[in-house]
Amino acid sequence: MLSNAQDVFSVPLQISYDPKLLQLVNVSNGSFLSQGGQAVALVHRDDPSTGMLQVTATRPPSSGGASGQGTLLTLTFLAKAPGQGMVAITRPGARNSSGQVIPASGGQASITVH
């Protein structure tokens, strides 16, 4: 989720998860960067041995940035084993339509697999 965002054009993220508990199944685009009917380029690289996921979502060239709040992307995981762990944005990032860095902060979620 993004909130209070202004002129967001591209969002590169690093996300960590516990690979003993979870297996990444899918990364899908949310509605935020699709504002105005734009097709979003979504690229991801997962390292299932370390639980590190690199994701970049980008609006089309010359489309300008998106503002407001909404879902950036959805991660779908498969539970592999019972336990408790975290899914965390370890390296948040955002760039505006001029390519300048926008300050961003990441969050984390506690997960419990039964």
- Would you state the pLDDT for residue 48? 97
Chain-wide mean pLDDT for the chain? 96
Residue with tokens 């967001």: 8
Sequence spans of domains, the chain:
2-102
- Under 8 Å CB-to-CB from 39, ≥6 apart: which residues? 60
- Would you state the pLDDT for residue 67? 97
User: pLDDT digit string (tens) for 39-81?
Assistant: 999 999 999 999 999 999 999 999 999 999 999 999 999 999 9
Is the pTM of the predicted complex or chain greater than 0.85?
Answer: yes
- Would you state the pLDDT for residue 87? 98
Mean pLDDT to the nearest integer, 13-38: 97
SS3 52: strand
Q: In angstroms, rounded to a whole number, what is the distance separating the alpha carbons of residues 51 and 83?
A: 15
- Would you state the pLDDT for residue 37? 96
- Would you state the pLDDT for residue 54? 98
CATH of 2-102, one of 2.60.40.420, 3.40.1190.20, 3.30.70.1290, 2.60.40.680: 2.60.40.680
- Would you state the pLDDT for residue 12? 97
